[in-house]
Amino acid sequence: MKYKNILFDLDGTLTDSSDGIIKSVLYAYKKLGITPPDEEVLKTFIGPPLGDSFIKHSVPKEDEIKAVDIFRERYNVKGKFENRPYPGIIDLLKELKEEGYRLYVATSKPEITAKEVLEHFDMAKYFDEIAGATLDGSREKKNDVIEYLLKKQGIEDDIVMVGDTIYDVVGAKKLDLPCIAVTWGFGDIEDMKEAGAICIVKNMEELKNAIH
């Protein structure tokens, strides 16, 4: 067993949440009366803290909180369930759990929403802890979420992060943790390589082998 404690990102790693997130981002831009970015840029909203993405793409700093609140108006009611687990991920989680691995979620998505999504797909039962962002923004960056999770669970070694964006790789690296990068999500493969991902995996079999 190469690692004992496996930390998974949620959006883009466990589930394809693009439809609900993008529709809710567009909803926010429409209500704010701001022209939204193009489709390729909209995909970059999946993963990092929402407020950062809104500010980066035309929303004034003073409207950051308002934009996130409007996004949640739609996402918290409808968007969070416009989502689906990636093929094979549930079977992999079940197998890893049965083999004795301890599984966790570390996401920049609000923790309450992450738990609702995973319960909806009957996936929460595979995880010893589901950690996410706080609604007040006090815990939002990926490294803050990971650090909170590790301290809460008392985990000190045999840890690997699994994620689909540079934010997962960098967040893990800030805590001197390795990160396995998956290609089926929303991140740039070259960015993840350059950021220091220990390996890039293209399917569930490769992910299982990288963990083993």
Alpha-carbon distance values, 5 to 48, 100, 114, 182 (Å): 23, 10, 19, 17
Instruction: Give me the tens of pLDDT residue by residue for the chain, a chain 212 residues long.
Output: 689 999 999 999 999 999 999 999 999 999 999 999 998 899 889 878 899 999 999 999 999 999 999 999 999 999 999 999 999 999 999 999 999 999 999 999 999 999 999 999 999 999 999 999 998 888 989 999 999 999 999 999 999 999 999 999 999 999 999 999 999 999 999 999 999 999 999 999 999 999 99
Kindly name the residue from 9, 63, 144, 164 that is annotated as catalytic.
9
Q: Which fold, 18-81?
A: DNA polymerase; domain 1 (1.10.150)
Q: What are the structural domain ranges in the chain?
A: 5-16+83-211, 18-81
| Residue 164 is a catalytic residue | no
Q: What is the pLDDT of residues 122-162, one digit of tens each?
A: 999 999 999 999 988 889 899 999 999 999 999 999 999 99
The number of CA neighbours under 13 Å toward the Cβ of 37 is 16
For the purposes of burial, counting CB atoms within 10 Å of the CB of 16, is it exposed (0-12), middle (13-18) or buried (19 or more)? buried
Same fold for the pair 5-16+83-211 and 18-81 = no
Q: Does domain 5-16+83-211 have CATH number 3.40.50.1000?
A: yes
